[in-house]
């Protein structure tokens, strides 16, 4: 098994000696990288990492608050007739207010119940609801790139998380004061700009102090906090049924997080190390060891892998994709980027380089890239579309959102369990078709009487299936490409997913059974596209384009 230590494992004794001396007899420090220090001395996932993980990933609940608050703030309230003659032929709940005589009806709960009732976003102006929601997701896409870079540079992971929480609280409260629709849309974009960095910074900060054998499982567990946040939001929305009060109530947890959680969160030792702050990095590592009931021997210090002059290694073990989960924050959100990896070859170093151009040039990776972009796009259209489409179901909005959030959690667990049993490809196809079939059934039933319950049930099962797809897609995408272009390909797929989130609200505003029809088509098409992807279960994680192409050619030749 490969190691990141500066020492040579083959020639070392079974019990390595920490204290080493140079030729003059003075004690010489043992330099090791963070992963090895976690494995040998600190513990890979002990009580310190568990506490840090829970505190950090609670930020995902904040992201859920600011993302899904639009479900309640932008819903169309119920209405009632004031003049029987003016409401003739269009009685609620099946009638449309667009057909009524002005002044013959009123919103139940008053004009302040939602943005729709306050600014009259109905009939010809209904598109504005989807426009404001799409503006939020567009802000998320931009913000993820901005704060991804800032968390790698001078702000750091904790500094970036602090910044986005402050901005979320400010923009969220300002949104509640919006005097007009266009002010509201701009502030939603700005809220998205900061929200796009919350989950990203929280994910990186939570996983970087975790040892390599546990990092994959821990990284996949962050999704539970987002779903839990949606469930909590349904309760908050029930208590604050005015959209302005709801925005303030959903923004206050960001302030609470700043005061009660962030002081107990540590900056990433990896960020300290790459910024040359070795003393601060060692202080964090000593805290981890102490919190886990362990100690780091005197003379053992951290060093970058380049300082250790050891080759980078990547391992695939079940759900573990170490390269993806230890990538820098900006790598997880960037599109066409170039990565360079150094390999020790005798006395000389050679670099394997790759870019998005190489992905497109290669017939093997070009088709994979196009397929993963399309699959990520349709997956997010369905996932976010079904989450937002509860406003069209005319059922109890609070209970429906709660059920959807709870339905996602077992989907994450089941996907994680079945991922290594059935493989990535069958599971991706199965979850997308599962969602697509129930969305198709939902498009066939009418949205009144018993049909409302059936459509709600179809929506819950649809989001259950697509949440499973969403969970496995990062792992699957990362395994489809060699190391030198993996982050470039993953960045393109991530941006396609964010574009799907932007399109989802525009589908929802169509109303009626049409959104379910679109979601069904996306699920079925996504499953068909997945048929053309190769299975990656128990396959090696290739490092270079040439290595992958050679292996694929040999596999085709052997199968003939």
CA nearest 53: which of 229, 271, 220? 220
Give domain limits for the chain.
30-78+110-311, 356-552
Q: What is the DSSP string of 371-405?
A: HHHHHHHHHHHHHHHHHHGGGGS-S-HHHHHHHHH
CA nearest 219: which of 293, 327, 338? 327
Q: Residue for token digits 């962030």?
A: 262
Contact 116, 75 (CB under 8 A): yes
What rounded mean pLDDT belongs to the chain? 82
What pairs with residue 302 in β-bridges?
Answer: 32
Start-to-end CA span in the chain (Å): 34
Identify which has the larger pLDDT, 38 or 309.
38
Q: Quick one: CATH architecture of 30-78+110-311? A: Up-down Bundle (1.20)
Would 30-78+110-311 and 356-552 be classified into the same CATH topology?
yes
CA nearest 480: which of 330, 373, 331? 373
CATH code 3.40.50.720 for 356-552: no
Q: Measured between alpha carbons, how far is 300 from 306 in angstroms, rounded to an integer? A: 17
Contact 376, 435 (CB under 8 A): no
Contact 280, 36 (CB under 8 A): no
Q: Is the pLDDT score of 431 beyond 80?
A: yes
Parallel, antiparallel, or unpaired: how do β-strands 320-321 and 339-345 relate?
unpaired
Q: What is the pLDDT of residue 560?
A: 59
Residue 524 has φ and ψ, to the nearest 5°, of -65, -45
- Quick: pLDDT tens for 9-36: 444 444 444 444 444 444 557 888 888 9
Q: Is the pLDDT score of 558 beyond 90?
A: no
- Which of the four pLDDT bands, split at 50, 70 and 90, describes residue 181? very high
Q: What is the pLDDT of residue 543?
A: 64
Q: Is the pLDDT score of 179 beyond 80?
A: yes
- Quick: pLDDT tens for 317-375: 444 444 444 444 444 443 333 333 333 333 334 344 566 787 888 888 889 999 999 99
Q: What is the pLDDT of residue 49?
A: 94
Q: Is the pLDDT score of 458 beyond 90?
A: yes
Which residue blocks in 153-222 are alpha helix, DSSP H?
A: 156-175, 181-195, 198-207, 212-220
Q: What is the pLDDT of residue 288?
A: 95
């Amino acid at each position: 098994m490969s190691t990141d230590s500066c020492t040579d494992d083959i020639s070392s004794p079974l019990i390595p000696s920490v204290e080493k001396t140079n030729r003059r007899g003075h004690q010489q420090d043992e330099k090791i990288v963070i992963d090895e220090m976690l494995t040998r001395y600190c513990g890979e996932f002990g009580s310190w990492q568990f506490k840090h993980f829970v505190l950090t990933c609670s930020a995902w609940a904040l992201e859920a608050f600011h993302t899904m608050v639009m479900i309640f703030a932008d819903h169309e309230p119920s209405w009632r007739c004031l003049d029987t003659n003016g409401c003739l032929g269009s009685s609620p709940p099946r009638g449309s207010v667009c057909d009524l005589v002005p002044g013959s009806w009123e919103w139940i709960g008053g004009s302040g119940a939602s943005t729709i009732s306050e600014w009259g976003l109905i009939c010809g102006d209904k598109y504005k609801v989807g426009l404001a929601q799409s503006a939020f997701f567009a802000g998320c896409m931009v913000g993820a790139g901005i704060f991804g870079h800032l968390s790698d540079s001078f702000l750091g992971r904790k500094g970036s998380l602090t910044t986005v929480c402050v901005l979320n609280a400010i923009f969220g409260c300002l949104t509640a004061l919006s005097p007009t629709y266009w002010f509201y849309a701009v502030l939603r974009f700005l809220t998205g700009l900061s929200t796009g960095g919350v989950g990203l910074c929280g994910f990186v900060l939570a996983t970087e102090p975790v040892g390599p054998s546990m990092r994959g499982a821990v990284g996949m567990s962050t999704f539970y906090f987002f779903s839990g946040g949606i469930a909590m939001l349904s309760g908050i929305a029930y208590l604050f049924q005015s959209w302005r009060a709801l925005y303030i109530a959903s923004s206050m947890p960001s302030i609470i997080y700043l005061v009660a959680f962030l002081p107990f969160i540590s900056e990433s030792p990896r960020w300290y190390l790459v910024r040359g702050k070795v003393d601060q990095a060692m202080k964090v590592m000593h805290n981890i060891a102490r919190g886990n009931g362990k100690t780091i021997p005197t003379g053992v210090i951290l060093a970058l892998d380049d300082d250790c002059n050891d080759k980078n290694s990547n391992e695939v073990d079940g759900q573990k994709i170490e390269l993806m989960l230890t990538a820098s924050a900006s790598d997880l959100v960037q599109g066409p980027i170039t990565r360079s990896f150094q390999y020790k070859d005798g006395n000389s170093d050679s670099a394997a380089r790759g870019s998005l151009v190489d992905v497109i040039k290669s017939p093997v990776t070009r088709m994979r890239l196009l397929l993963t972009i399309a699959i990520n796009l349709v997956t997010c259209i369905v996932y976010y579309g079904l989450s937002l489409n509860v406003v069209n179901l005319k059922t109890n909005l609070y209970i429906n959102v709660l059920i959807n959030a709870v339905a996602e959690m077992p989907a994450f667990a089941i996907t994680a369990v079945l991922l290594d049993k059935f493989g990535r490809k069958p599971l991706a196809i199965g979850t997308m078709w599962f969602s697509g079939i129930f969305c198709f059934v939902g498009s066939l039933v009418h949205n009144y009487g018993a049909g409302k319950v059936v459509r709600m049930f179809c929506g819950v099962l649809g989001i259950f299936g697509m949440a499973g797809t969403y969970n496995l897609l990062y792992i699957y995408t990362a395994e489809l490409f060699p190391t030198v272009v993996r982050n470039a390909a993953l960045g393109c797929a991530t941006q396609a997913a964010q574009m799907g989130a932007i399109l989802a609200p525009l589908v929802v505003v169509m109303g009626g059974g049409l959104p379910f029809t679109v979601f069904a088509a996306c699920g079925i098409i996504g499953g068909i596209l997945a048929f053309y992807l190769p299975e990656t279960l128990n396959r090696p994680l290739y490092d270079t384009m040439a290595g992958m192409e050679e292996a694929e050619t040999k596999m085709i030749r052997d199968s003939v």
